[in-house]
A and B are shown apart, each in its own frame.
Chain A
Amino acid sequence: GAGVSQSPRYKVAKRGQDVALRCDPISGHVSLFWYQQALGQGPEFLTYFQNEAQLDKSGLPSDRFFAERPEGSVSTLKIQRTQQEDSAVYLCASSFSYEQYFGPGTRLTVT
């Protein structure tokens, strides 16, 4: 079946612009996770949804980062007033129970 999909795959933003990154989880997966992966590092947790409820947002690095999943399916990660340090790959994962499945990521470059 279809895996986790993310769009866009690549995004170039000028410093100060707002961006929105989309994640389509595997159908039926109630849990959805966002991670940030810097170059040469492992992914780091940002936030977690169970259905439409955001249960953990402890990893969001600042109040410029905001995530939503209003209908318990598609999720959007929004970054306001982007900064150069926001440049990274943003990964989305979904799960039905314990095992998480990852999308291909969105590579964000802030110039």
Chain B
Amino acid sequence: GIQVEQSPPDLILQEGANSTLRCNFSDSVNNLQWFHQNPWGQLINLFYIPSGTKQNGRLSATTVATERYSLLYISSSQTTDSGVYFCAVRKGNTPLVFGKGTRLSVIA
């Protein structure tokens, strides 16, 4: 099945810093989503982005489908950005496959 690798596994930032999270996947996909899992366990939708670039406030994402990777950019990080960021992909009608996540800690 499709493999999803996320890097880095852990990231510690000072409040106000910027960061880039990466997601590599092993096959062509028709669905790619980025989620933030907050400390209470809720998965929050950030982006549905099988290709192209999207921005939402301090967050933006880019997926280069032909090269099988996606990037999530967080600018001017805040303590509320802490949590685990997951990339998940789907090919055709197969199940959504998640990476292992990037655990982000933002320190005041």
Contacts and interface: CB of A to CB of B under 8 A. Distances in A.
Contacts, number: 47
Contacts of A108: none
B24 to A, nearest CB: 14
Interface residues of B, number: 22
A63 interface: no
Interface of A: 33, 41-45, 48, 56, 58-59, 89, 91, 93, 98-102, 104-105, 107
Nearest to B86: A42
B48 A102 contact: no
B95 A56 contact: yes
B96 A100 contact: yes
Contact of A102 (B31, B35, B101): B35
B43 A91 contact: yes
B42 A99 contact: no
B85 to A, nearest CB: 11
A88 to B, nearest CB: 11
Contacts of B99: 42
Contacts of B13: none
